[in-house]
Amino acid sequence: MIMDSDPIRGEPVIDIIDDAWRFDQLPKGEVRVPVEELPDPEPDNGNPLETLREQEMKWNDFALNRLQAQPDASP
């Protein structure tokens, strides 16, 4: 019986890797990363590895941005 945790063995991956790919290198210069993609510089609570964008998306998941957009219904 095959379970989800059993790896599916197919073609060997080594055939996909050629010499050009193996010797390819990243550039030596610095890579510019947008600020919202960096981890939070002041991780007071929560996951310190979450980016600022991921943290902002959590607030959107709660639809809190719609609370401010609604007019005040009180008399």
Domain boundaries, the chain: 37-75
For residue 59, the model assigns a pLDDT of 63
Express each pLDDT in 51-72 by its tens digit: 777 777 776 656 666 666 556 6
Asked if 38 and 52 count as a contact pair (C-beta separation under 8 A), the reply is yes
Residue listed under structure tokens 């050629």: 18
Please report where in the chains the tokens 């379970």 appear, as a residue.
Answer: 3
Q: In the chain, pLDDT over 70 holds for what percent of residues? A: 60
- Which residues have a Cβ under 8 Å from the Cβ of 51 and sit 6 or more positions away? 36, 37, 38, 39, 40
Closest by CA to 52, choosing from 35, 32, 72, 69, is 35
Answer whether residue 75 shows pLDDT above 60. Answer: no
- Whether the per-residue pLDDT at 23 is higher than 60: the answer is yes
